[in-house]
Amino acid sequence: MRSTGSFYEVLAENGTTYNCRVRGKIRLEGIKETNPVAVGDDVLMDLENDVGVITEIFSRTNHMLRQSVKKTGHSHVLAANIDQAMLIATVAMPRTSLGFIDRFMVSAESFRIPQVIIFNKRDLLSPQDVQNVEGLIELYTGIGATCFSISAVNDDVEKLRKLLQNKTTLIAGHSGVGKSTLLNRISTTIDQAIGDISEFSEKGMHTTTFAEMFQLDEKTFVIDTPGVKEWGLVDMNQQELSDYFPEMREIRLHCKFGSKCIHLNEPKCAVQDALKNGMIAESRYSSYLSMVLGEDNRK
């Protein structure tokens, strides 16, 4: 349910939560992850004097990864065994870039995890910003994501509750986008600290410092994650990236060079043709380029 680095809170089948540590050998399997045990993992636990010891991690159905910002060549597991990935985004105070949104979506799509994008702080938007959000909702809904805009402070959150029902949902986003406010509105059992926006940088200040899963009812769980400044992709090669863009997935099969085409300047590239014909959004192709070329577009 929660990982603080050295201890883990584990919800047992009897409904009791135990403080656990990890048996040493689990950390010695050569896994290039900064956290071999992640929130959402199913584990085997032994009790020793009321203190739990995690002795085994069961196979995951999926997980959400990003590059570790502290350890080169390693990944950080945000959560495991999730039913959907929800990104809380804002177009101002702070601004969530389209590159960041697309990287989040690619990470989820690589495991075919359904994506939800909530554009928060509707009450603070200018008429032009409202129009921009409507365009983004149309764009991302068109490629399979569930999207809507909300004011976490003013609006009824019943629609959001229904989206979460009977699922385990990862919730992510930059610091300051309103994740904690939304979580507190969803359930009276959640009391996450709420931070302010820095007037100097117009970015959020961290309030959540570790991943934590909350149980809303018997079958509904939400996982709050620390605010993410940038989203680095993990272990994806150039040839497979377009498979994680739903609007490119089928089109790429018609490229002259098939799976070898990375849709840059190859002749008879079906993806390039679709871009020219407006079937693929320029912003999405721009994000794809930054990923396939390894450019820094994580923020």
Reported as a pLDDT band with limits 50, 70 and 90, residue 189 is confident
Residues 158 and 195 in one domain: yes
Q: Which of 28-37, 98-107, 191-200 has the lowest mean pLDDT?
A: 191-200
SS3 275: helix
Reported as a pLDDT band with limits 50, 70 and 90, residue 294 is confident
- Find out whether the peptide bond into 127 is cis, omega within 30 degrees of 0: no
Comparing 188 with 85, which gets the higher pLDDT?
85
Query: Using CA atoms, how far apart are residues 18 and 54, in angstroms rounded to an integer?
Result: 11
Give Cβ neighbours of residue 169 (< 8 Å, ≥ 6 apart): 82, 83, 84, 85, 86, 116, 163, 221, 222, 223
Residues 19 and 121 in one domain: no
Query: Using CA atoms, how far apart are residues 9 and 78, in angstroms rounded to an integer?
Result: 16
Q: In the prediction, which pLDDT does 125 show? A: 93
**Is 164 inside any structural domain?**
yes
Residues 181 and 46 in one domain: no
Q: Residue 272 pLDDT > 90, yes or no?
A: yes
Q: In the prediction, which pLDDT does 36 show? A: 79
Residues 124 and 155 in one domain: yes
Domain of 16, in residue numbers: 2-57
What's the whole-number average pLDDT of the chain?
86
Q: Which of 42-56, 57-71, 262-276 has the lowest mean pLDDT?
A: 57-71
Sheet containing 146-149: order of strands: 43-48, 51-57, 17-22, 8-11, 2-3, 212-217, 220-224, 168-172, 84-89, 115-119, 146-149
Reported as a pLDDT band with limits 50, 70 and 90, residue 10 is very high
Instruction: Give tens-digit pLDDT for 95-107.
Output: 999 999 999 999 9
Residues 216 and 276 in one domain: no
Residues 98 and 214 in one domain: yes
Residues 42 and 176 in one domain: no
Reported as a pLDDT band with limits 50, 70 and 90, residue 24 is confident
Q: In the prediction, which pLDDT does 26 show? A: 66
Phi, psi of 276 (to 5 degrees): -65, -30
Q: Residue 46 pLDDT > 70, yes or no?
A: yes
Q: What value does the mean pLDDT take over residues 205-211?
A: 53
Reported as a pLDDT band with limits 50, 70 and 90, residue 199 is very low
Q: Which of 279, 237, 295 is nearest to 262 (CA)?
A: 237
**Is 135 inside any structural domain?**
yes
Q: Which of 175, 191, 224 is the last residue of a domain?
A: 224
Residues 46 and 79 in one domain: no
Structure tokens at 69: 């910002």
Q: In the prediction, which pLDDT does 204 show? A: 40
Q: Which of 24-28, 190-194, 244-248, 267-271 has the lowest mean pLDDT?
A: 24-28
Q: What is the CATH number of the domain that holds 288?
A: 1.10.40.50
Whether residue 175 contacts residue 195, with contact meaning beta carbons closer than 8 Å, is answered with yes
Residues 16 and 155 in one domain: no
Q: What is the CATH number of the domain that holds 20?
A: 2.40.50
Residues 33 and 159 in one domain: no
Q: What value does the mean pLDDT take over residues 239-262?
A: 93
**Is 232 inside any structural domain?**
no
Reported as a pLDDT band with limits 50, 70 and 90, residue 68 is low
Q: In the prediction, which pLDDT does 161 show? A: 92
Q: Which of 187-191, 267-271, 284-288 has the lowest mean pLDDT?
A: 187-191
Beta 84-89 vs 115-119: how paired, if at all?
parallel
Q: What is the CATH number of the domain that holds 82?
A: 3.40.50.300
Cα angle 275, 64, 112; round to 5: 50
**Is 298 inside any structural domain?**
no
Q: Which of 174, 194, 224 is the last residue of a domain?
A: 224
**Is 231 inside any structural domain?**
no
Query: Using CA atoms, how far apart are residues 45 and 38, in angstroms rounded to an integer?
Result: 14
- How big is the chain by its Cα radius of gyration, in Å? 20
**Is 148 inside any structural domain?**
yes
Per DSSP, the residues of 125-153 read: --HHHHHHHHHHHHHHHHTT-EEEE--TT
**Is 261 inside any structural domain?**
yes
Q: Which of 35, 32, 6, 34 is nearest to 21 (CA)?
A: 6
User: What is the tally of structural domains in the chain?
Assistant: 3
Q: Which of 48, 39, 50, 36 is nearest to 10 (CA)?
A: 39
Instruction: Give tens-digit pLDDT for 153-183.
Output: 888 899 999 999 999 999 999 888 988 889 8
Beta 51-57 vs 43-48: how paired, if at all?
antiparallel
Structure tokens at 86: 């929800």
Q: In the prediction, which pLDDT does 196 show? A: 46
State the sign of the Cα–Cα–Cα–Cα dihedral 5, 226, 110, 160. Answer: positive
Reported as a pLDDT band with limits 50, 70 and 90, residue 198 is very low
Q: Residue 208 pLDDT > 50, yes or no?
A: no
Residues 120 and 140 in one domain: yes
Whether residue 294 contacts residue 281, with contact meaning beta carbons closer than 8 Å, is answered with no
Helix-strand-coil split of the chain, %, nearest 5:
30, 25, 45
**Is 297 inside any structural domain?**
no
Residues 210 and 245 in one domain: no
Q: Which of 224, 258, 275 is the last residue of a domain?
A: 224
Comparing 231 with 200, which gets the higher pLDDT?
231
